């Protein structure tokens, strides 16, 4: 197994116990649990951003996509 460089982070004792419990339940180390948690946090932020954009521009996106769906599969027919 490869050695992974780590560092120490300060968390509340209650948080450390929760991390240890959840890591054990998931069959992973606390380091892996922290990595997975940060990954999920980043993914959620991306999804939230996409959701916000869709709420803001959804009608425009929908109209543009309708145009794509109406386009012939062999490309535009206007001579381009």
Q: How would residue 1 be classed by pLDDT, with cut points 50, 70 and 90?
A: low
How confident is the model over 20-56, as pLDDT tens digits? 999 999 999 999 999 999 999 999 999 999 999 888 8
Which pLDDT score is estimated for 79?
58
pTM above 0.75, yes or no: no
Asked whether residue 74 carries a pLDDT value surpassing 90, the answer given is no
Which pLDDT score is estimated for 78?
63
Average pLDDT, rounded, for the chain: 88
Q: Could you please report the per-residue DSSP string of 16-74?
A: HHHHHHHHHHHTS-HHHHHHHHHHHHHHHHHHHHHHHHHHHHHHHHHHHHHHHHHS-TT
């Amino acid at each position: 197994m490869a050695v992974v460089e780590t560092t120490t982070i300060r968390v509340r004792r209650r948080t450390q116990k929760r991390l240890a419990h959840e890591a054990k339940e998931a069959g992973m180390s606390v380091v892996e649990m922290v990595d997975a948690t940060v990954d999920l946090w980043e993914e959620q932020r991306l999804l939230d951003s996409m959701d916000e954009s869709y709420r803001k521009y959804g009608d425009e996106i929908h109209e543009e996509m309708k145009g794509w769906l109406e386009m012939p599969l062999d490309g535009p027919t206007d001579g381009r």
